[in-house]
């Protein structure tokens, strides 16, 4: 057992941290302003000049595609990437994109890398790896509890050499961005097959006729344009060639599962980075703000919040890192309980810290003058992502009881 | 001791409830759409046709100015008004305004009614009571902990027959509405006076030169245009006649205190109405939504939330009602501890209920498709309104300790 | 609506409060020492000289049988008795017994008063009302979830003019006291009857052959001898005449329900009294104890606990009082939801306050030097009494959902 | 970074786990019964036949003095010992003593091993390492906030070749055991020295004249005789030779600090073992107990508790292990924040789990029929041990703020 980072990771942590300080933090406001100035084009966040510049700079340093194992990516393990994801989470609107490590592109690239045909790779994976286009993953549906992927109802019917797709999706992150050129769409190809073999994943280019981007979903009052929003989509007799299926008909559920583990690690580590920045802001504000004759930092209740934040985040980080290590050493299946556990533990812990950071900032903490309320909104959605916490708790408890019965 | 409503209150509860069902709930979406369609005029919420119609109808039934005791208003006690405020809180964007009971106009009318000169009443109170204009109360400042009114720094300097006002304010609710014609502005007239006699409140018409509405503050991404937003204001050599002072120079702090009690009762009761509606939505959703083969309503954890919500809100309402009763019987000062207690207890209780209601609704609960996230944002601000909870807790505890020492 | 006490109640509150201060608080240690000195007779708490003296004095002032409505008791309503119960809860080991208002005798007297025959009243109710004997109520069984009274399995079989009783009971409060002369025993007389008509309640004198007091149950190491402990009982062919049935065969469930409402009010109000005393102790300790150079009372976290305690207990008391009022005005059935709600809300609220009071007292707070840990243990059991909280929450939520579906 | 145990640790985990199952769990009831049967000798827990047998067996397997690094002990690092401490915590009354790893002897042996003279080692350390005698550590005092060691007031005055000791101590764990032959006593030798150089630690044999064991302290209703209770001590002109000082006059504070880190790791790991056993009991009970027609294990709320328990304990354990690793690699001082963090996080987490385990067991969970309530009492004391949580939080927060100011 060893809680230290290996030399490669330590180097990357140092380098990326320095890059954050020299390039990314100073660019946050610029990015925000360029997007606002873009008006109706605000969804096209990846076309902002500042992002283009930062990406070029990052890439020149080799800070690129950290998330992807193997030779196409940076060749890092989950455990090696995790602390880097944490660092990028400190500037979650900007940093992940700078390093071409932003969701949902990361998951889509992983899927294409692992399951795509050579043609699919050439057409979609290469430009994604180059950062030329963006993508979306269309799974969640408004009418079913989508945490159970077998509930998915979008219909994919084969008609000769084509699939005909009909149905609705919502909360499709990134899809409001016109540069999100390709959608991986999950649907049902064979309702009569065994329960986990009914679904398939199909590549649908954005401009395919019949695919309508209906509206942006909002989270609290935010449209999240800085990472492409969350679209509601309608598919009406959308046709794609059968060669657009990923892996095979019926493989949709399995691919979705494979995607889940790394995605969760990334989300959780970024959330921890965000929590760390919130703690820093809390300390800074507590030091700088005077009320009733002394700095907030001298008030016991506020110290209690700061101590609690530190105690909670230290425990949380270790569990996420251990989960990454398990995935690297025994695989996603062996890490199943831990993957559920971090899904349960992360959002609520970080939400609690953000709530206290907001409280220390006064009403301003809820406003556009600080990033705290927007972060809170983003973290709150994680309590639903991949299914509400309650589903995961229920499943984890059943496994715990079963384990005990078998002991 | 008697926990039943008197006959007059019971009649009003019945009548207003019926009016909500027949007129207000059906109009909620219309109001929302009319505001959206108004584009840049969306701040002028009180000019929407639907609101005008509803106000005419409400007034014709005598449902008008419930909040104001005495002959100018509906002649209700705090205890009689409280359950009506709760009912209006169920549709908090619309109903309070329909009955001319919306904050901050209510507090401003109370102040003018109690402390205004005949001229001030004729010029400003009358049109407010008629619902012809709106108003704002400018107290909070960005640079000081405004929960302690003695910290207020906006400068009001007498120059002959005029006051010259300089300074900044923010979170001035309602002030983005161009029809908010009059601002009650709190500032410092005499920095050398005893601590609670330094402040004055002065009437400043909206169109006074030097008064700039700088920008709207946002809360979790919402601009709250449906009740006039929250403005940042800048006063640069703003001049008003000395006759615009309310009551007297140096009376600002006392007036602010007098305003506090009723305002808090109203806020808390409306919040309870909102909580009741959230519980209804939670029950409806739990009954109608099936996940993993059975309605959510059959899941133990969700039942736990529903039971908790009921248990918490029942206790909370009684404390708010008792506070109203105390104000009616022993006055604001005698009700001081209880006024603090409801300030502490209400926001967090209602926030908790809203969080669970959101969770039962899935990701949709965070979106524009349901009112829950917007309500959550509104309630979250109450943990800062009139000072953060922590200030009130500290004060309440000191009083508790002192009481014990004196016993 | 009126939150003031009526004149009769106000007088009693004043008188009983004065009596507590002059007679009961000073006697607490004496009572405790007399019990300890009694060694193996420590269960016979009601034979201590100090208790005998205090009872005589209380009775001479008319402070007797407050709990019992009608002419046999003090003629108070539930609402009038509630604040007196709270006061006695401040010295919960001693004061309820001094006024002959200690559970489980109170419930047993209510049952005999309402359902007993003249012979039963003469034989058992009269000496109980006189405070000459004690009693117990034997319902809970070790092998079934006794929160659902229909699960009760103790067998009561008619054999000629006698009932033959066989089975086990535990947690029979008061039954270790040799002066607990009469047990009301709940059991099953007709397993083939409809579900709520299978049970009967039967009077079993303590010295009936076949009735064994097996052992005292402990709660967190306490044997609770100061109110007669909690016994495990074994019934082996215990025979009593059929005239010992209460009301009628098959009426057991209904009687148990009737007993429930008042009992819960009493428990909850006493618990609130205990919480009030804990708050006082917390304030006193915080004022008197210096750590790191200043009194604990100046530490923000401790002030937070004091404020929280006040805010929580104020809300809780009002709900218990309203429940009493509902029972008086619309009956136990009409107050069903509220009776459940106070059962859920009271123990956890008071437990929280006690935990903080303990923490303020340091390790001593857990020891025999202060009453806090013992109170904590007692309150913790309330989360099981009449069924665990979770059962009540589940039931309350179902009712809430049903109410909404019917609206 | 590597979350796996090294081969040596893995071997020991396997062996000790097997020994627990074959020898220790089956002996728990025997040990308990032998102590009860011993009546007034119940404090002499280490003289029970069963413990003697188990110790001999354990020692024959080399399972002895795990806690002590170096050649006198088992030669394990903190990180290697930690999982073994967890396992022994599953049977916390018995297992630590079987392996001669029970507090406070462990800390005392560490101190003697590190700071003792050869004579002190020969006289006291050797028999302790052999398990022939027990010891106590007398630090806490009733009249001062002992969490700050500089507050200690017991007076140690040099008089020629002797120290004369006067003062009071309480909560001296193990000291009720007549076989606790030696006390390490902390007191003030030089009130005029710099604040951290005023204290000394002195060896005081149990039978020294003037040393009175006044009474046992109770925790809730437990006297904790199975590990020697918690004594109140009075020192009246107690005289020991000056050679009994440990290390040097004035070194008391430094020795106390050195003792702190390992002690906390041990406590926390044992508490985690206890939590694991509680989770197992919770699962077993939930599976075996039927209420309202189905096993408790099918109720959502109970599953929620089980899942929560797992999620919380996984995070907690990792932080304790990391703390052990830090102590091994960068020393106690470098691990200061983490040592505080586990002190804060462990008791409350384990207390929460025990509370839920109790609730699943019904009222029996609070009684002598299950170990849960006694464990709860033991864990509750940890929120005071080495100072209340609040002191540690305050200190941790100050360090966090300082770290940020220096960044």
Decide if C304 touches A, using CB distance below 8 A: yes
Decide if A304 touches C, using CB distance below 8 A: yes
Contact assessment for residue A101 and residue A128, using Cβ atoms and an 8 Å cutoff: no
Give CA angle at A275 (A269, A279), nearest 5°: 145
C339-377 pLDDT, tens digit per residue, is: 999 999 999 999 999 999 999 999 999 999 999 999 999
What pLDDT, on a 0 to 100 scale, did the predictor assign at position C143?
86
B77-109 pLDDT, tens digit per residue, is: 999 999 999 999 999 999 999 999 999 999 999
B235-270 pLDDT, tens digit per residue, is: 999 999 999 999 999 999 999 988 888 889 999 999
Give CA angle at A123 (A122, A124), nearest 5°: 100
What pLDDT, on a 0 to 100 scale, did the predictor assign at position C88?
98
Contact assessment for residue B389 and residue C299, using Cβ atoms and an 8 Å cutoff: no
Considering only CB atoms, B345 lies closest to which of C306, C315, C404, namely C315
Chain A residue with Cα closest to B363 = A384
C232-274 pLDDT, tens digit per residue, is: 999 999 999 999 999 999 999 999 988 888 889 999 999 999 9
> For residue B211, what are the CA distances in angstroms to B107, B227, B246, D361?
22, 21, 19, 67
Domain(s) labelled CATH 1.20.140.10 in chain D stretch across: 253-405
Contact assessment for residue B285 and residue B296, using Cβ atoms and an 8 Å cutoff: yes
D298 C-beta neighbours (distance < 10 Å), count: 16
Tell me: pLDDT of A72 over 90. Answer: yes
Tell me: pLDDT of A260 over 90. Answer: no
D248-302 pLDDT, tens digit per residue, is: 999 999 999 888 888 899 999 999 999 999 999 999 999 999 888 899 999 999 9
From chain C, pick out residues whose CB is under 8 angstroms from the CB of D142: 364
Chain A residue with Cα closest to B379 = A366
> For residue A6, what are the CA distances in angstroms to A65, A76, D2, D110, D377?
19, 12, 10, 33, 43
Touching partners of C (3+ C-beta pairs < 8 Å): A, B, D
Mean pLDDT of chain D: 96
A180-225 pLDDT, tens digit per residue, is: 999 999 999 999 999 999 999 999 999 999 999 999 999 999 999 9
- Give the CATH number of domain C253-405: 1.20.140.10
Contact assessment for residue A354 and residue A281, using Cβ atoms and an 8 Å cutoff: no
Decide if D284 touches A, using CB distance below 8 A: yes
Q: Which residue has the higher pLDDT, C278 or C146?
A: C278
What pLDDT, on a 0 to 100 scale, did the predictor assign at position C80?
98
Decide if D301 touches B, using CB distance below 8 A: yes
Tokens of A215: 């509206």
Contact assessment for residue D218 and residue C363, using Cβ atoms and an 8 Å cutoff: no
What pLDDT, on a 0 to 100 scale, did the predictor assign at position D151?
86
- Give the CATH number of domain A7-129: 1.10.540.10
* Interface contact C299-A304, CB threshold 8 A: no
Contact assessment for residue C400 and residue B283, using Cβ atoms and an 8 Å cutoff: yes
A355 C-beta neighbours (distance < 10 Å), count: 19
Q: Which CATH class is domain D134-250?
A: mainly beta
What pLDDT, on a 0 to 100 scale, did the predictor assign at position B259?
86
Compute the residue count for chain A.
407
Decide if B297 touches C, using CB distance below 8 A: yes
For residue C169, report the phi and psi dihedrals to the nearest 5 degrees: -135, 155
Mean pLDDT along residues B48-58: 97
From chain A, pick out residues whose CB is under 8 angstroms from the CB of C304: 300-301
Tell me: pLDDT of B166 over 80. Answer: yes
Domain(s) labelled CATH 2.40.110.10 in chain D stretch across: 134-250
Domain(s) labelled CATH 1.10.540.10 in chain D stretch across: 7-130
pLDDT class of A258 with cuts at 50, 70, 90: confident
The count of C-alpha atoms lying within 13 angstroms of the C-alpha of B227, restricted to the half-sphere facing its C-beta, is: 23
Query: A388 CA to chain C: closest CA distance, Å?
Result: 21
pLDDT class of C40 with cuts at 50, 70, 90: confident
Superfamily of domain D7-130: Acyl-CoA dehydrogenase/oxidase, N-terminal domain (1.10.540.10)
Tell me: pLDDT of D147 over 80. Answer: no
Mean pLDDT along residues B298-310: 97
Contact assessment for residue A227 and residue A88, using Cβ atoms and an 8 Å cutoff: no
Contact assessment for residue B24 and residue B91, using Cβ atoms and an 8 Å cutoff: yes
DSSP state of A70: S
The beta-carbon contacts of B54-63 under 8 Å, at least 24 apart in sequence, are B54/B23, B54/B24, B54/B27, B54/B94, B54/B98, B55/B97, B55/B98, B55/B100, B55/B131, B57/B23, B58/B19, B58/B23, B58/B98, B58/B99, B59/B100, B59/B131, B61/B15, B61/B19, B63/B15, B63/B16, B63/B19, B63/B98, B63/B99
Domain(s) labelled CATH 2.40.110.10 in chain C stretch across: 134-248
A75-95 pLDDT, tens digit per residue, is: 999 999 999 999 999 999 999
Domain(s) labelled CATH 2.40.110.10 in chain A stretch across: 134-249
Tell me: pLDDT of B385 over 90. Answer: no
DSSP state of A222: B
Helix H segments across A90-213? 95-98, 105-115, 118-120, 126-129
> Among all chains, which residue has been given the structure tokens 């996230």?
B373
Mean pLDDT of chain C: 96
Contact assessment for residue A24 and residue A54, using Cβ atoms and an 8 Å cutoff: yes
- Give the CATH number of domain C134-248: 2.40.110.10
Residue A264 to residue A268: CA distance in whole angstroms: 6
Q: Return the closest-CA partner of residue A372 out of A360, A385, A389, A381.
A: A360
B4-28 pLDDT, tens digit per residue, is: 999 999 999 999 999 999 999 999 9
Residues within 8 A of A (CB atoms), D 343-382 only: 344-345
What pLDDT, on a 0 to 100 scale, did the predictor assign at position C226?
94
Decide if A307 touches B, using CB distance below 8 A: no
What pLDDT, on a 0 to 100 scale, did the predictor assign at position C144?
85
What pLDDT, on a 0 to 100 scale, did the predictor assign at position D15?
98
Note the ipTM here: 0.96
For the purposes of burial, counting CB atoms within 10 Å of the CB of D396, is it exposed (0-12), middle (13-18) or buried (19 or more)?
buried
Residue B374 to residue B370: CA distance in whole angstroms: 8
Touching partners of B (3+ C-beta pairs < 8 Å): A, C, D
Beta bridge partners of A182: A135, A205
What pLDDT, on a 0 to 100 scale, did the predictor assign at position D262?
87
**How many helices (H) and strands (E) would you count in chain A?**
13, 9
Give residue B117's Cα distance to chain centre: 25
Give the E-state strand segments of D225-281 in sequence order. Answer: 230-241
pLDDT class of B313 with cuts at 50, 70, 90: very high
**What share of chain B has pLDDT > 70, as a percent?**
100
Q: Which CATH class is domain A134-249?
A: mainly beta
Contact assessment for residue C310 and residue B400, using Cβ atoms and an 8 Å cutoff: yes
* Interface contact A221-B217, CB threshold 8 A: no
Contact assessment for residue D149 and residue D139, using Cβ atoms and an 8 Å cutoff: yes
* Interface contact D373-C220, CB threshold 8 A: yes
Decide if A391 touches D, using CB distance below 8 A: no
D30-60 pLDDT, tens digit per residue, is: 999 999 898 888 999 999 999 999 999 999 9
Query: C302 CA to chain B: closest CA distance, Å?
Result: 9
Whole-prediction pTM value?
0.97
Question: In this structure, which topology does domain B135-250 adopt according to CATH?
Answer: Butyryl-CoA Dehydrogenase, subunit A; domain 2 (2.40.110)
pLDDT class of B145 with cuts at 50, 70, 90: confident
Residue B139 to residue B142: CA distance in whole angstroms: 10
A267-301 pLDDT, tens digit per residue, is: 999 999 999 999 999 999 999 998 888 999 999 99
From chain B, pick out residues whose CB is under 8 angstroms from the CB of A285: none
Tell me: pLDDT of C148 over 80. Answer: no
Contact assessment for residue B181 and residue B134, using Cβ atoms and an 8 Å cutoff: yes
Residue A388 to residue B7: CA distance in whole angstroms: 46
């Amino acid at each position: 057992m060893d809680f230290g980072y290996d030399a490669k990771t330590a180097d990357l942590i140092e380098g990326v941290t320095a890059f954050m300080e020299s390039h990314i933090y100073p660019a946050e406001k610029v990015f925000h302003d360029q997007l606002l100035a873009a008006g109706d084009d605000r969804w096209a966040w990846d076309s902002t000049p500042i992002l283009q510049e930062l990406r070029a700079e990052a890439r020149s340093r080799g800070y690129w595609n950290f998330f992807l194992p193997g030779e196409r990516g940076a060749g890092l393990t989950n455990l090696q990437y995790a602390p880097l994801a944490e660092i990028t989470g400190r500037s979650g609107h900007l940093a992940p994109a700078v390093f071409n490590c932003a969701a949902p592109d990361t998951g889509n690239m992983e899927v294409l890398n692992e399951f795509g045909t050579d043609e699919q790779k050439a057409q979609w994976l290469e430009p994604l790896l180059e950062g030329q286009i963006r993508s979306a993953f269309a799974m969640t549906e408004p009418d079913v509890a989508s945490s159970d992927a077998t509930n998915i109802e979008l219909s994919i019917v084969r008609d000769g050499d084509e699939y005909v797709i009909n149905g609705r999706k919502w909360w499709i992150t990134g899809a409001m961005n016109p540069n999100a050129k390709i959608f991986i769409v999950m649907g049902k190809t064979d309702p009569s097959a065994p329960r986990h073999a009914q679904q398939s994943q199909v590549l649908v280019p954005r401009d395919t006729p019949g695919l309508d981007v209906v509206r942006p979903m909002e989270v609290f009052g935010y449209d999240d344009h800085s990472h492409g929003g969350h679209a509601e989509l309608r598919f009406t007799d959308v046709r794609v060639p059968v060669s657009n299926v990923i892996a095979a008909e019926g493989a949709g559920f399995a691919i979705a599962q494979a995607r889940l583990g790394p995605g969760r690690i990334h989300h959780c580590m970024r959330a921890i980075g965000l929590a760390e920045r919130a703690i820093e802001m809390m300390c800074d504000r507590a030091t700088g703000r005077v009320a009733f004759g002394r700095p907030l930092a001298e008030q016991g209740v506020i110290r209690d919040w700061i101590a609690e934040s530190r105690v909670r985040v230290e425990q949380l980080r270790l569990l996420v890192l251990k989960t990454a290590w398990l995935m690297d050493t025994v695989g996603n299946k062996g890490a199943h309980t831990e993957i559920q556990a971090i899904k349960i533990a992360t959002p609520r812990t970080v939400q609690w810290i953000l709530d206290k950071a907001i409280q220390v900032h006064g009403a301003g903490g809820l406003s556009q003058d600080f990033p705290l309320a927007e972060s809170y909104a983003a973290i709150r959605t994680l309590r639903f992502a991949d299914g509400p916490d309650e589903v995961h708790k229920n499943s984890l408890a059943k496994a715990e009881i079963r384990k005990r019965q078998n002991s």
